[in-house]
Amino acid sequence: MGLMWSQRPVPGSKPGLRMRKTNVQTPMEVTISVYRGHLTKGFADQVPLAGAVVERWYMAPGVRRVPVTEGGLTATLFLPSGPGPFPGLLDLWGGGGKLVEYRAALLASHGFASLALDYLTPQITKETGKMVDNHYFEAAYRFLEQHPQVLGSRIGILGLSFGTSIALKMAVYSQVFKLRCAVCISGSHVQPIEGSVQQIMTSFHNNVDKTRFNMEQQVIWRDLLLPIPADPSLKVEVGRLRCPLLLVVGEDDQNWPAHESAVDVKEMMQRAGNYHLLTVLSYPGAGHLIEPPFTPFARASSYKILGTAPQTLMVLWGGETVAHCRAQEDAWRKTLVFLRENLYGGTNPRATASSHL
Amino acid sequence: MSQTTPSSTMSPDVPPVLSVVPSRALVDEAFRVSVQNLPPGCAVTLHSLHRSEEEDLWEAFGHYVSDQNGSVSLADDFSFGGTYVGKEAMGLLWSMRPVPGSREGLRLRKMNVCTPQLVHISVYDGHAQEGFTERPPLASVLSERWFVAPGVRRVEVREKGVRGTLFIPPGPGPFPGVLDMWGGGGGLVEYRSALLASHGYVSLALQYLTSGELALADVESKFFETAFNIIRFHPLVRPDRIGIFGLCLGAIATNHLAAESSVIKPRCCVCVSGVHICPRGPPLAGTTQLLLLTAHKVRVDENNHEIWRNRILPITGDLAEKIDVGKINCPMLLVNGRDDQNLSTVEAAEDMARMMQAAGKAHLLTTIEYPATGHLIELPYSPHFRATKFMKMDTKEKVMLLWGGQTKPHSDAQEDAWNKILSFLHHHLYSNNPPRAKM
């Protein structure tokens, strides 16, 4: 699959690009060609010997895309093909905001009714100027739980980066959330206990002076949460988790101290006696943006900070191409197994059997 | 709703997982169908459903029992009943037939090749024979079956009196070409050309002349040659690598062109369910005349379905009534079914072999015959029709024609023949070796 994952912008492109498909109802079209000789450039000027077109889809046939605005939500529900009912999944992206659908579409293609949720830039925040609070996430959970094609007792959550912070918060502290499992990618449990979204973001901003820059002036934010505090009031009490947790972290994550957080989570859960619920997938050479497999890797890219003074920076995500892309393939496969076992598995959540992959 | 075995206690809390991989594929690609998360030893029915362009419903189903892990895999497990039995990974497609209560004599053919054939694959609790639409399945997946690969271009052709559709593979080319000719049903059938383009051949699906146009005999002799040249002179085609592919009447025309044309030189020919029995001269006009002359030889079976195979029996010794196949100078692949009730292709092929042998051309001929296989040797995994309604081109009369064949061996033949045909075309049109007839 090297022709897919090793893609990068052609020479002369704008710097800091990141490839993400916005419209998931159409495929990504890739032209695969064979040229004579061993070329490194000038492909557009030459006629290939032969070519073929490949379509890469996020939505399997029969998957339904349902925009959701009820309950003040800004979300999109993807339902798998078939009559259902299906296990449900809440899909959360990170600090960049917006409604990002492709992972939820792909998860629905694997049999999970997935709700992609915009929680940083939803309609309600645009109108009121205020960040959402816990009620918003609980409304999203209830929407899934009560949906006629979702199995209300089989709902999980999957979050990346800041989405992890939300996922862990709701898993531990919410009375409404009854999660069957949680997947947290490139995230941390360090945050003010029971803080609102606004409060959590503020706590990060308070450490902004710990921002570093590399030689190319790319932004390194991993130190904002370091060192991992010993004070339990500054971290989600993961010892209170009652469902299996899968942590996926890259050891070269330059954006967030996901690896260090995972180590601390493990210690906390060992002390609390619920360590049997934890599985950690830790990948050397992988960076922050651990995405579904085969899409191109970006070690750094342009990032627009939301807020009162929006600006665009070049943020360093970290990771080395080959190691990161292998990590994405491995992590995705194992994530699907974890979700399948915990959301489709037998009537008793087989916590011991399913959490350790 | 009838079930032959009591349904097992399926816990509603544990949904089974049905997977069809790949869910999007070309029509000649196999898929893997499996079910997981069932209770062990659970009786289930795997079912396929398709609504045709004419709004008829087609279905197939197989009866399975899950293993100790709660899994069923069509590639590994046996079907114990339904429209197919045994270990049949693609049984849900090739054993499809119209649902009970459908119109008689239906044939499944897709006319719009730009959209996929949609097949719903479902798993039901228990071993059911009917009533699938009256209850919800445990799980269901939609499968898309495509005639065109991504990037294949479709071009309507209307020039020099020729009507047809050209399909061009993706890529810079140039490509070998194929002139694709169907049988006597008339109209414009595009799906085989679309699939050939998906395999790398510029392919022209040719629409035959109407009976009015046929009346002008000299129009016909130029007609096929003009069509061939449209391919030959196309900028994306290699002019020295064009083959002809004919079914039934199209195969008769193919034999004629290969033997008689001084204008066009095909590099190889494929004749499926065809013969060389046709009065000398333009093949379409000749065939029409032949049908008129042999009408008295038509028999009917116990269902009143017409058997046409005796029309050309016994194979005539009169050279004026046969295409002079001894003049053929390119490799020929003949594909025939031994249970062809429409055309005596097997007997004709034997005679054709004798004629070519006498002319020193035996090395150019390869004949494949399939047991219990009928006349309509179509694309792999497409359903088998032993008899269907057919509209006679000249009188516009609709009759039920017996094509022959038994479903399972006929379907096996379709799969095997397509592989052999693609291999033959590849060898003669793509390969850089000097042409060798025997595969």
| pLDDT over 90, % of chain B | 81
Q: Quick one: which of A35, A26, A31 has its CA closest to A7?
A: A31
Q: What is the pLDDT of residues B52-65, one digit of tens each?
A: 999 999 999 999 99
Position B432 scores a pLDDT of 79
β-pairing, B117-125 vs B43-51, is: antiparallel
Position B439 scores a pLDDT of 54
Using DSSP, state whether A165 is helix, strand or coil: helix
Position A351 scores a pLDDT of 35
At residue A353 the predicted structure's pLDDT band, cuts being 50, 70 and 90, is very low
At residue A54 the predicted structure's pLDDT band, cuts being 50, 70 and 90, is very high
Enter the pTM of the model: 0.90
**Mean pLDDT to the nearest integer, B209-235:** 80
Position B123 scores a pLDDT of 97
| Residue to test with chain A: of B37, B124, B430, most A Cβ within 10 A | B37
Flag whether pLDDT at B215 surpasses 80: no
Q: SS3 letters for chain B?
A: CCECCCCCCCCCCCCCEEEEECCEEECCCCCEEEEECCCCCCEEEEEEEEECCCCCEEEEEEEEECCCCCCEECCCCCECCECCCECCCCHHHHCCEECCCCCCCCCCCCCCCCCCEEEEEEEEECCECCCHHHCCCCEEEEEEEECCCCCCEEEEEEECCEEEEEEECCCCCCEEEEEEECCCCCCCCCHHHHHHHHCCCEEEEEECCCHHHHCCHHHHHHHHHHHHHHHHCCCCEEEEEEEEEEECHHHHHHHHHHHHCCCCCCCEEEEECCCCECCCCCHHHHHHHHHHHCHHHCEECCCCCEECHHHHCCCCCCHHHECCHHHCCCCEEEEEECCCCCCCHHHHHHHHHHHHHHCCCHHHEEEEEECCCCCCCCCCCCCCCCEEEEECCCCCCEEEEECCCCHHHHHHHHHHHHHHHHHHHHHHHHCCCCCCCCC
Nearest to B14 among A50, A57, A346 (CB): A346
Q: What is the pLDDT of residues B330-362, one digit of tens each?
A: 999 999 999 999 999 999 999 999 999 999 999
Flag whether pLDDT at A341 surpasses 60: yes
Position B435 scores a pLDDT of 54
Flag whether pLDDT at B393 surpasses 70: no
Q: Which residue has the higher pLDDT, B303 or A355?
A: B303
CB contact A28 to B (< 8 Å): no
Residues of B belonging to the active site: 248, 340, 375
Report the amino acid identity of residue A337: V
At residue A193 the predicted structure's pLDDT band, cuts being 50, 70 and 90, is confident
CB contact B11 to A (< 8 Å): yes
CB contact A37 to B (< 8 Å): no
In angstroms, rounded to a whole number, what is the distance separating the alpha carbons of residues B424 and B430?
10
Position A355 scores a pLDDT of 37
Instruction: Report chain B residues whose CB lies below 8 A from the CB of A53.
Output: 149-151, 170
Arithmetic mean of pLDDT over chain A? 93
Task: Return the residue of A nearest to B170 by Cα.
Answer: A52
- Are the Cβ atoms of A81 and B171 closer than 8 angstroms? no
A199-226: burial string, b at 16+ Cβ within 10 Å, e else: ebbebbeeeeeeeeeeeeebbbbbebbe
Position A108 scores a pLDDT of 98
Instruction: Report chain A residues whose CB lies below 8 A from the CB of B118.
Output: 61
| pLDDT over 70, % of chain B | 92
CB contact B326 to A (< 8 Å): no
Arithmetic mean of pLDDT over chain B? 92
Work out the minimum CA distance from A344 to partner chain B, whole angstroms. 6
Position B12 scores a pLDDT of 53
Tell me which H or E stretch contains A109.
helix A102-109
Position B434 scores a pLDDT of 57
- Are the Cβ atoms of B151 and A52 closer than 8 angstroms? yes
Position A348 scores a pLDDT of 41
Least confident of A91-100, A308-317, B84-93, B413-422: A308-317
Flag whether pLDDT at A357 surpasses 80: no
Task: Return the residue of B nearest to A64 by Cα.
Answer: B142
Position A85 scores a pLDDT of 94
- Are the Cβ atoms of B140 and A53 closer than 8 angstroms? no
At residue B211 the predicted structure's pLDDT band, cuts being 50, 70 and 90, is low
**Mean pLDDT to the nearest integer, B244-253:** 94
Position B265 scores a pLDDT of 94
Task: Return the residue of A nearest to B169 by Cα.
Answer: A52
**Mean pLDDT to the nearest integer, A36-56:** 94
Flag whether pLDDT at A356 surpasses 70: no
Q: Quick one: which of A166, A158, A163 has its CA closest to A182?
A: A158
At residue B436 the predicted structure's pLDDT band, cuts being 50, 70 and 90, is low
Flag whether pLDDT at B5 surpasses 50: no
Contact present, A87 and A154 (Cβ < 8 Å): yes
Position A324 scores a pLDDT of 97
Q: What is the pLDDT of residues B265-278, one digit of tens each?
A: 999 999 999 999 99
**Mean pLDDT to the nearest integer, A289-304:** 94
